[in-house]
Amino acid sequence: MNLESLVLYDKIHQCVTLSGVAAKKGRHTTIKDLGVIENAAVVVDSDTARILWIGKSLELPQQFKEIVNQYSCEGEVWLPELVECHTHLVFAGDRSHDFAMRSSGKTYTQIAAEGGGILTTLSQTRQASVQELLERAQIDIDRFQKLGVGTIEIKSGYGLSLESEIKILKCIQTLQQIVSVQLVPTFMPAHAIPPEFKERSDDYVKLICEEWIPEITKLQLASYFDVFIEDGYFSVPQAEKLCLTAKDKGLSIKIHADQFKSLGGTSLAVKLEAQSVDHLDHINREDIKALSNSPTVAVLCPGASLFTGTPYAPARELIDGGARVALTTDFNPGTCPSRNLPLMTTLACTQMKMTVAESIAGITYNAAAALGMENEIGSLEIGKLFRVCQIKGSSYESLPYMFGELE
Ligand code: NIG
Ligand code: FE
Q: Is pLDDT above 80 for 1?
A: no
What is the pLDDT, as a whole number, of residue 293?
87
Mean pLDDT of all residues in 384-401: 95
Q: Is residue 201 part of a domain?
A: yes
Task: Specify whether 13 is located in the same domain as 95.
Answer: no
Number of Cβ within 10 Å of residue 104's Cβ equals 6
Return d(Cα 1, Cα 292) in angstroms, integer: 44
- Output the pLDDT for position 3: 85
Ligand number, closest to the Cα atom of 233: 1
Interstrand relation of 69-72 and 77-80 (parallel, antiparallel or unpaired): unpaired
pLDDT digits (tens, 9 = 90+) for 52-106: 999 999 999 999 999 999 999 999 999 999 999 999 999 999 999 999 999 999 9
Check whether 329 has a pLDDT greater than 90.
yes
The reply to whether ligand 1 has any atom less than 6 angstroms from the CB of 321 is: no
In a domain, 406, yes or no: no
Q: Is residue 231 part of a domain?
A: yes
Atom in ligand 1 nearest the alpha carbon of residue 86: 1
* Residues 328 and 355 grouped into a single domain: yes
Question: Are 34 and 155 found together in one domain?
Answer: no
Residues 154 and 244 in one domain: yes
Q: How many CB atoms lie within 10 A of CB 231?
A: 11
Backbone region of residue 256 per phi and psi (left: phi > 0; alpha: psi in -120 to 50; beta: other values):
beta
Is residue 48 in a domain?
yes
From the list 172, 91, 141, 96, the residue with the least C-alpha distance to 339 is: 141
Ligand 1 centroid – CA 332 distance (Å): 7
Among candidates 402, 401, 399, 405, which has minimal Cα distance to 36? 399
Looking at the structure, tell me whether residues 222 and 193 fall in a common domain.
yes
CB of 117 closer than 6 A to ligand 1?
yes
Q: What is the distance in A from the centroid of ligand 1 to the CA of 192?
A: 9
Q: What is the CATH classification number for the domain harbouring 25? A: 2.30.40.10
188-208 tens-digit pLDDT: 999 999 999 999 999 999 999
Q: Are residues 90 and 67 in the same domain?
A: no
Does residue 407 lie in a domain region? no
Position 393 pLDDT exceeds 90: no
pLDDT in tens, 276-322: 999 999 999 999 999 998 999 999 999 999 999 999 999 999 999 99
CATH number of the domain that residue 192 is part of: 3.20.20.140
Amino acid at 107: T
Domain presence at residue 51: yes
Alpha helices in 226-284 (DSSP H): 236-248, 265-271
CB-ligand 1 contact for 35 (6 Å cutoff) = no
Residue 375 forms part of a structural domain: no
Does the residue 256 lie in any domain? Answer: yes
- Spacing, Cα 335 to ligand 1 middle (Å): 6
Q: What is the domain extent for residue 86?
A: 82-369
Length of the chain: 407
Whether the CB of 330 sits within 6 Å of ligand 1: yes
Q: Mean pLDDT over all residues of the chain? A: 97
Residues 13 and 141 in one domain: no
CA of 176 to the centre of ligand 1 (A): 23
pLDDT, tens digit, for every residue of 219-267?
999 999 999 999 999 999 999 999 999 999 999 999 999 999 999 999 9
The structural domain count of the chain equals 2
Residue 185's beta-bridge partner residues? Answer: 154
- pLDDT higher than 90, residue 114: no
- How many angstroms does the Cα of residue 103 sit away from the middle of ligand 2? 21
Pocket test for ligand 1, best of 191, 255, 263 (most atoms within 8 A of CB): 191
Residue 41: pLDDT band with limits 50, 70, 90: very high
* CA separation, residue 298 to residues 2, 217, 253 (Å): 43, 26, 13
* 222, 249 contact by CB (below 8 A): no
Residues 141, 64 share a domain: no
Q: Are residues 348 and 392 in the same domain?
A: no
Q: How far apart are CA 49 and CA 383, in angstroms?
A: 9
Ligand nearest to the Cα of 276, by number: 2
257 CB near ligand 1 (under 6 Å): no
- Which pLDDT band, with edges at 50, 70 and 90, does 324 fall under? very high
- Residue 304 Cβ inside 6 Å of ligand 1? The answer reads yes
Give the span between the Cα atoms of 254 and 246, in whole angstroms.
Answer: 11
115 and 221 share a domain? yes
> 284 and 167, same structural domain?
yes
Instruction: Judge if 67 and 113 occupy the same domain.
Output: no
